[in-house]
Amino acid sequence: MSTDAPDYPIGHTINLVAQVCVALLAIFGILYVVRENKLRNRGKRDHRLEGIDEAKQGELGYRHPNFRYIP
């Protein structure tokens, strides 16, 4: 809006809020990945392999207990 010029407080506020949201989501994502890798290291996801053959294990993808995320 031309009434905001030259400071544009509404636009800067929207940008700042968006940047804070993105930063919080990124931090949450990193913490989730680190936590999930720790759980997999402790064997807390090994139950996913029970009762399925090797062919089905290969289809688990990222849900396979040996898969590790890169933080």
Site of tokens 């913490």: 31
Give the pLDDT mean for 36-45.
97
Q: Where do the domains of the chain lie?
A: 9-63
Instruction: Name the average pLDDT for the chain.
Output: 93
Can you give the pLDDT at residue 7? 82
The reported pTM is 0.79
Can you give the pLDDT at residue 32? 97
Report how far residue 66's alpha carbon sits from residue 8's, in angstroms, rounded to the nearest whole number: 51
The answer on pLDDT for 1 being more than 70 is: no
The answer on pLDDT for 2 being more than 90 is: no
